[in-house]
Amino acid sequence: MAGKKQDVALSDLQIAVMRVLWERGEPSTADVAEVLAAERGLKHTTVATLLTRLEKRGVVAMRRDGRQLYYRALVSEPDVRRSMVADLLSSLFGGDARALVSHLVDESEIAPGDLDRLRKRLKAAAGEDGT
């Protein structure tokens, strides 16, 4: 496997665009533009530019049907999460995920009950998986 979807760092705006693709599957430029116009007041042409660039970068695929262009994500949201969380971990937490959770705890972004529930979920998953 040639690490192709590795290192998919996207900007906030790019993620917003991707989100539309993730949610809708294969929207047209106009579809995406409509969402982004509502969400952020962007112009159609701006969105078109963003999509073109994402295609050039290889994170989305474009299909042409008549005059219209339809875009489809080539990287999944989990892919991007993996990549970007890994980046954050390595740059700011010495690669230690526990330090990140610890940070969330310190910043009161998660409650103790949440950790408990997640722990249980992990155990259940591990039990099924049997790894």
Partner DNA sequence: CGTGTCGTACTACATGTGTAGTAGAAACGC
Partner DNA sequence: GCGTTTCTACTACACATGTAGTACGACACG
Residues engaged in binding DNA (CB under 7 A): 9-14, 28-30, 40-46, 48-50, 52-53, 57, 64, 66-69
| Nearest alpha-carbon partner for 8 in 97, 98, 81 | 81
Is 31 or 77 the residue whose CB approaches its own copies more closely? 77
Which residue ranges make up the site for its own copies (CB under 8 A)?
Answer: 12, 15-16, 77-78, 80-82, 84-85, 87-89, 91-93, 97-98, 100-107, 109-116, 118-119, 121-123, 125-126, 129-131
CB within 8 A of 87, min separation 6: which ones?
Answer: 7, 9
Q: CB of 1: closest distance to its own copies in angstroms?
A: 17
Check if the beta carbon of residue 119 is closer than 8 Å to that of residue 126: no
Q: CB of 72: closest distance to its own copies in angstroms?
A: 19
| Structure letter (DSSP) for residue 28 | B
63 dihedral zone (left: phi>0; alpha: psi -120 to 50; beta): beta
Q: CB of 16: closest distance to its own copies in angstroms?
A: 8
Is 43 or 117 the residue whose CB approaches DNA more closely? 43
Q: CB of 66: closest distance to its own copies in angstroms?
A: 33
Is 67 or 98 the residue whose CB approaches DNA more closely? 67
Question: CA distances (Å), 118 to each of 73, 76, 86, 96, 106, in order?
Answer: 29, 23, 20, 18, 17
